[in-house]
Amino acid sequence: MNDHKPSILKRIRRYNFEDGTIEMLIGLIYFWAGVFFKPLPVPNCPISISIIGFIVTIFLAACMRQRYVYPRSGYVNAVSLATGKSVRTFLLSVLLGTVIAVSIFIPFFLMGRNGDGGLSWLTLTFGLVIGIVLILQGFWLGFPRLAVVGLISAGLAVLLSPIVFAGQTYIFSNQQFPYWVVPAWQIFFPVYFLLMAPVLLLSGGIAFLNYLHNNPPLAEDPDEQ
């Protein structure tokens, strides 16, 4: 029984990532984030489009899980806050996560170049943090595809980082569009989102199709029909 419990816990933790809908949801959120931060100033693209898209995406993901996932895998609420120990563990995790996130981001924001407040570090840090989280989750839960997506995120973060490749922080300023003075991070950050979105959608989509193929809805018992 002692050996059985960890495997039960692992299966419960895998439950949310098994069907790929979470990745597809994150992929679409990334897409709308990319539209929100838009890499180029597109005049006819109001912010409300991405906000509406974001809300519709969450609604669609919930419907998709309701329609395809729950009839196959059932429903489990893994968060157990019934005991004092669980509450303490949860609060400690939140506190520790906040401390780590703040200690990673604050030094970077203080090291700004050319007066843009350190935001040129944003693409690199965000992409690397997300990449590391995905790689760790992939190994921890036994989903190699998450580790691959994490590696792509980290790779894109390095490739697109204005710190690594842009000598000048401000670009896209010319005579034709004199008001297009855009900091480099404002170009590369949305580009990171827009490139990661199809990667997440593809990975989640393949996982979802595999899930549907491997988990047909349970048939009625012969003695109960």
Closest distance between other proteins and the C-beta of residue 224, in Å?
6
Tokens of 222: 């012969």
In sequence order, the 6+-apart residues with CB closer than 8 A to the CB of 142 are: 10, 14
CA 177 vs CA 61, 172, 173, 220: distances in Å? 40, 8, 7, 66
Least gap, CB of 74 to other proteins (angstroms): 3
Nearer to other proteins, 11 or 88 (CB): 11
What is the chain's length? Answer: 225
Distance in Å, CB of 218 to other proteins, minimum: 7
168 in contact with other proteins (CB under 8 A): no
Stretch that binds other proteins, among 78-86, 95-103, 108-116, 123-131 (CB under 8 A): 78-86
User: Which 3 state secondary structure label does DSSP give 171?
Assistant: strand
Question: Among 157, 158, 159, 185, which residue's Cα sits nearest to residue 171?
Answer: 185
Q: Does 8 bind other proteins (CB under 8 A)?
A: yes
- Residue 154 CB partners (closer than 8 Å, separation 6+): 127, 128, 131, 132, 135
By CB under 8 A, residue 78 contacts other proteins: yes
Q: Quick one: which of 48, 82, 115, 214 contacts other proteins (CB under 8 A)?
A: 82
Please report whether residue 220 would count as binding other proteins according to CB under 8 A: yes
Torsion of CA 72, 77, 78, 80, to 10 degrees: -160
114 touching other proteins, by CB under 8 A: no
Task: Candidates 77, 103, 175, 176: give the one binding other proteins (CB under 8 A).
Answer: 77
Residues that bind other proteins (CB under 8 A): 1-2, 4-5, 8-9, 11-12, 66, 70-71, 73-82, 218, 220-221, 223-224
